[in-house]
Structure 1
Amino acid sequence: MSTPASRHHKRPRGEGQWALGYREPLNKNEENKKNDDGLNVRQRIIDVYSKQGFDSIDPADLRGRMRWYGLYTQRKPGIDGGKTAILEPEELDDRYFMLRVRIDGGQLDLRQLRTIAGIANDYARGTADLTDRQNVQLHWIEIESVPDIWERLEAVGLSTTEACGDTPRVILGCPLAGIDAEEVFDGSAEITEINERFIGDPAFSNLPRKFKTAVSGCPAHCTVHEINDVAFVGVTNERGEQGYDLWVGGGLSTNPMLAKRLGVFVRPEQASDVWAGVIGIFRDYGYRRLRHRARLKFLVNDWGAEKFREVLETEYLKEALPDGPAPELPRGSRRDHVGVYPQKDGDFYVGFAPRVGRLDGDKLHAIADIAERHGSGRVRTTVEQKMVILDVAADQVDSLVAELEAADLRVKPSTFRRQTMACTGIEFCKLAIVETKATASDLIDELERRLPTFDEPLTINVNGCPNSCARIQTADIGLKGQLVLDENGKQVEGFQIHLGGSLGVNSGFGRKVRGLKTTAEALPDYVERVVTHYDDQKKEGESFADWVQRADEADLK
């Protein structure tokens, strides 16, 4: 006989989607956001925390809402990687912050660049790292300094608003927008419109997780649209009209997924409304119950492109979008902008490679000075931790290149300098298990010494933990930091190795070879070995990623 309780089936818990009525706090992060919008922390930083100091900061602000303004506590020095997953956040926290400056579209004028350089030297012990999302990250920031830093940034049109947190992060754009002779079209106006309409808007300041955007008409597909939450990719339709192909649901981390094409054609004037529709779906239907399943990619994977398009058109845009063409294949085998190339106006742009994105305040001042001396007022950051100086007259190019090269800012770098990236690593990051920047920099030096004639495209991405900030799954050689045992059975820093990942013509996450690991110390030996095997065995025009798929396992070890 059934009891009354069993007759009333419990409503399924679902995934915490607001649109389906699940609004109760589902985890600590959701509870914090429900209690107070992250955007509200700004005034507390100005009025209270900057005046009363680090110890006055509410823990829910310190490890939560302050991210809405680009602030993370950095890792206390001296804590080894084995403790990363064991210690509580307050045991890992230092009393200093990482501060991320948004550089939407990678666009900077010299006044802005000098402002960042000045802040780096005055408040950040000189630190200034280029990220693979076109931002600049500063370290050693004290809470007392933050209001002055904001004043200085905002006076030149820069911001840290929603640079971190469960928010719409920096919008990626091609650094050559408006000047590349081969670009489909210039997406800068759409980036500006999305930024001005929606960044800092409480309507989109409480998302299930972070939300990453790319908008570009770049023929090299430099903004890696395949791994963003939403991407607008420049296309020309059969009527000769320019617009965007819309992609949704890309992302890496511990559960990587490639974005899906919705198959629609978005006119440039529709782009910001369509963006608001996509992020609105994420806000309302995104999964909030479990944080590790809260990125948009999980919803897109469960729904499929067809349902996502239908909900976007019927519930959010209230109009159908026409079908549209897929993008052309990317130009060239390197999706960066390093080197000297003509602009459409007759001037030249010069792209150069700092070491794994590591710069400092003095070097940023030097870059601004070099650019200014050679007639340029504009510099750009790229999604490969590189920079570009625009608008250089033909008779200024050789002198500019010589000055950059003399400052160890390589315009003609080796493959290893050009295509090695590294995340922040254990030096400052509380999630990291191993050191990355110095390891990657030393690796470049060793490979240049050992393989001086190797010049094929080859991406080497070095990550300090499994979260893939440095995009390990899409690299030719992706290195995921972990502790490993050396030949004496001692636990040391090392890497799990991913091979043959790629984006573009054959996007994919590469080949996993069971148990393929190396210690940090033996890393140069490993990379030299596998690159030499590729160089010896490759067929005409065969990429490293293609070779990996057919190579004997012994040659990959």
Structure 2
Amino acid sequence: MTSTPTAPAGSPTAAAPAKPVRRKRGEGQWALGYSEPLNKNEQTKKDDNPLNVRARIENIYSKRGFDSIDPADLRGRFRWMGLYTQRAPGFDGGKTAMLEEEELDDRYFMMRVRTDGQVLGVEQLRALGETSTTYARNTADITDRNNIQYHWIEVESVPAIWERLESVGLITVEACGDSPRPFLGSPVAGIAKDEIIDGSSALAEIKAHAIGNPEFSNLPRKFKTALTGHPSHDVAPEVNDISFVGTVHPEHGPGFDLWVGGGLSTNPMLAQKLGVWIPLDEVVDAWVGVVSIFRDYGYRRLRSKARLKFLVADWGKEKFREVLETEYLKRELVDCPSPATPVSQGDHIGIHEQKDGKFYVGAAPVVGRIDGTTLSALADLVEQYGALGARLTAYQKLVVLGVDAADTEAFADGLEKIGLTARPSNWRRSTMACTGIEFCKLAIVDTKERARLLVTELEKRFPELDTPITINVNGCPNACARTQVADIGLKGQLVMDDDGNQVEGFQVHLGGALGLQANFGRKLRAHKVTSADLDDYVTRVVTAYLADRTDGESFATWAARADDVHLRGEVAAS
């Protein structure tokens, strides 16, 4: 494995070129000699490695209670343990940007449990369910980063939660923070009949090497990883900091292309494809090299630019590859054309045969919202039918692996009884929503409940939709639910209604996509919709599309050419 460069004084493990070219105004890049913290976040990390906060949670805060927590730990280092304070009740969206963070803090926490593409067997599902019902008021969401997310967690309960989860191989370490965030892995790795290569062993090796490792616990900001060997590119590789995507070299066989610099939020960028071939046993080295570039050369002065995508955009992929090869890998990568792009990315919903003759069953909750009772019931179902277990997906769904052929329909019926479905409508299957104002301190509007109501209404209005249309609902500009790459992306904000009142609403993005038509949705000048009018607005736009589309035309293609009046929902297409 590639060794890690030696750090300059005062900075953990950062490379220093022999003759750095100093920029006139430093961006806080360690490799260029700028090791002094330039903002409070960098100072907090320098003062104490955030991984050390675990001991204080276990030995002090859980015993003395919420009021004993050092503010630098509470609003900083706790994140490295997967903990954020949730939004205090009583503050509407207008207060989100007006109040200081401490004014929005509740005395309870959101907690993320990372799964990183691993199979959740009966023991893991039971532990997740019991944690929810015992400590989290029966809350649990499946996120679009393979996490289970709880709410209402008290600091006094955290050590007991860790003990229960870790007893079955689950952790919360670095599920948040300026660290290697939870990995996206293909939910059908190792079992899909059409898989190019199974990369799950590499993902597990990266996790074992990197998570909880001080070499990677002080990054400029979050670092998101995705890996898939499936041709449907089922991990949203275009919008991750680093993605390994299955490919086939004409001489060497299956391996992975390397994509870098993807990300959304307020400055969305699609990943740059390096067009290389990396064998399975060198994936970890490549990951270490890329994350080390981010650590050493990443911008640390402004949080708004402290993502790998800005460095990749400034350098270009040719220079990025050169630095990776010469300074970190110490070898050249093998050239290989990037793999073919699927028309759309796979979510694996439904019943599908595995390569071993068994079946996997992809199931959908409503916008990722489940609970501990459902997780425990899923554990019972998996045990009853002798299935292997479940993996989470990049689309707030889950896939159960290893169901016998004779049991697939009965298993699907069992899912229906516990609030999941392998036979969802388009709207349930294709709608995602972030946490929203219910719990998130950054949110401006309600998302989960609003999206659930929208799904219910659209199922009534378009029960037999013959083409997929995706809807992603976000409570703020940060795009946790990937607003810009949905057919209909909804970014929460306060808007004026017809009576001049400030109410919850959304800026609309139309025609975004991943896969073959990867692009960011079209925004219409000054076009916003109130939350109250959302059902009718989406109905008008979908009706216009269905009336105006050409044979086989997707919503994204139509939205790129449609008249503004149709996209604004002002008139139905003729």
TM-score, normalised with respect to structure 1: 0.97
Is it true that 1:316 corresponds to 2:316 in the alignment? no
Identify which of 388, 411, 424 aligns with 1:413. Answer: 424
Match of 2:234 in 1: 222
Match of 1:7 in 2: none
Is it true that 1:129 corresponds to 2:108 in the alignment? no
Shift of 1:407: 2.8
Identify which of 270, 295, 303 aligns with 1:291. Answer: 303
- Matched to 1:132, the amino acid is D
**Pairing of 1:44-63 with structure 2 (within 5 A):** 44-63=56-75
Identify which of 479, 483, 503 aligns with 2:494. Answer: 483
- Matched to 2:489, the amino acid is G
SS, match of residue 522 in structure 2: coil
- Matched to 1:413, the amino acid is P
Deviations 1:178-232 (A, max 9, x none): 0000010111000011011111110010000000001110121110110000000
Match of 1:550 in 2: 561
**Pairing of 1:487-502 with structure 2 (within 5 A):** 487-502=498-513
Identify which of 435, 450, 464 aligns with 2:461. Answer: 450
Identify which of 337, 340, 354 aligns with 2:365. Answer: 354
Do the aligned partners of 2:256 and 2:277 also contact (CA within 8 Å) in 1? Answer: yes
Distance change >3 Å, CA 108–CA 179, structure 1 → 2: same
Shift of 1:334: 5.0
Is it true that 1:474 corresponds to 2:509 in the alignment? no
Deviations 1:483-502 (A, max 9, x none): 01111111110000000000
- Distance, in Å, in 2 between the alignment partners of 1:505 and 1:138 is 35
- Distance, in Å, in 1 between the alignment partners of 2:453 and 2:23 is 57
- Distance, in Å, in 2 between the alignment partners of 1:273 and 1:71 is 29
- Distance, in Å, in 1 between the alignment partners of 2:122 and 2:276 is 38
- Distance, in Å, in 2 between the alignment partners of 1:107 and 1:509 is 32
- Distance, in Å, in 2 between the alignment partners of 1:244 and 1:324 is 9
Match of 2:18 in 1: none
Distance change >3 Å, CA 503–CA 333, structure 1 → 2: closer
- Distance, in Å, in 2 between the alignment partners of 1:450 and 1:516 is 24
Shift of 1:261: 1.0
Match of 2:92 in 1: 80
Instruction: Figure out how many residues of one structure are paired with residues of the other and give that number.
Output: 547
**Pairing of 1:532-547 with structure 2 (within 5 A):** 532-547=543-558
Match of 2:39 in 1: 27
Identify which of 125, 131, 134 aligns with 1:113. Answer: 125
Do the aligned partners of 2:179 and 2:216 also contact (CA within 8 Å) in 1? Answer: yes
Match of 2:197 in 1: 185
Do the aligned partners of 2:276 and 2:335 also contact (CA within 8 Å) in 1? Answer: yes
- Distance, in Å, in 2 between the alignment partners of 1:340 and 1:267 is 31
Deviations 1:12-43 (A, max 9, x none): 22211000001111001001011111101000
- Matched to 2:77, the amino acid is R
Do the aligned partners of 1:385 and 1:421 also contact (CA within 8 Å) in 2? Answer: yes
Distance change >3 Å, CA 208–CA 11, structure 1 → 2: closer
Shift of 1:262: 1.4
Shift of 1:106: 4.9
Do the aligned partners of 1:106 and 1:172 also contact (CA within 8 Å) in 2? Answer: no
Do the aligned partners of 1:105 and 1:188 also contact (CA within 8 Å) in 2? Answer: yes
Identify which of 346, 352, 355 aligns with 1:344. Answer: 355
- Distance, in Å, in 1 between the alignment partners of 2:34 and 2:243 is 28
Deviations 1:293-328 (A, max 9, x none): 000000000000000000000000111111012112
SS, match of residue 274 in structure 2: strand
Match of 2:523 in 1: 512
- Distance, in Å, in 1 between the alignment partners of 2:552 and 2:119 is 35
- Matched to 2:564, the amino acid is E
Do the aligned partners of 2:144 and 2:394 also contact (CA within 8 Å) in 1? Answer: yes
Match of 1:5 in 2: none
- Distance, in Å, in 2 between the alignment partners of 1:240 and 1:42 is 45
Match of 2:277 in 1: 265
- Matched to 1:218, the amino acid is H
Shift of 1:546: 0.3
SS, match of residue 526 in structure 2: coil
SS, match of residue 157 in structure 1: coil
Is it true that 1:434 corresponds to 2:445 in the alignment? yes
Match of 1:275 in 2: 287
SS, match of residue 481 in structure 1: strand
Shift of 1:377: 3.0
Match of 1:6 in 2: none
Is it true that 1:459 corresponds to 2:470 in the alignment? yes
Do the aligned partners of 1:173 and 1:188 also contact (CA within 8 Å) in 2? Answer: yes
- Distance, in Å, in 1 between the alignment partners of 2:529 and 2:60 is 48
SS, match of residue 361 in structure 2: strand
Identify which of 165, 168, 171 aligns with 2:183. Answer: 171
Shift of 1:441: 0.2
- Matched to 1:279, the amino acid is V
Match of 1:153 in 2: 165
Q: Which runs of 4+ in 1 moved over 4 A?
A: none
* Identity within the alignment, %: 62
TM-score, normalised with respect to structure 2: 0.94
- Distance, in Å, in 2 between the alignment partners of 1:108 and 1:169 is 19
Do the aligned partners of 1:334 and 1:457 also contact (CA within 8 Å) in 2? Answer: no
SS, match of residue 105 in structure 1: coil
- Distance, in Å, in 2 between the alignment partners of 1:251 and 1:241 is 30
Identify which of 62, 69, 72 aligns with 2:81. Answer: 69
- Matched to 1:351, the amino acid is G
Deviations 1:40-68 (A, max 9, x none): 10000001100111001000000000000
Match of 2:102 in 1: 90
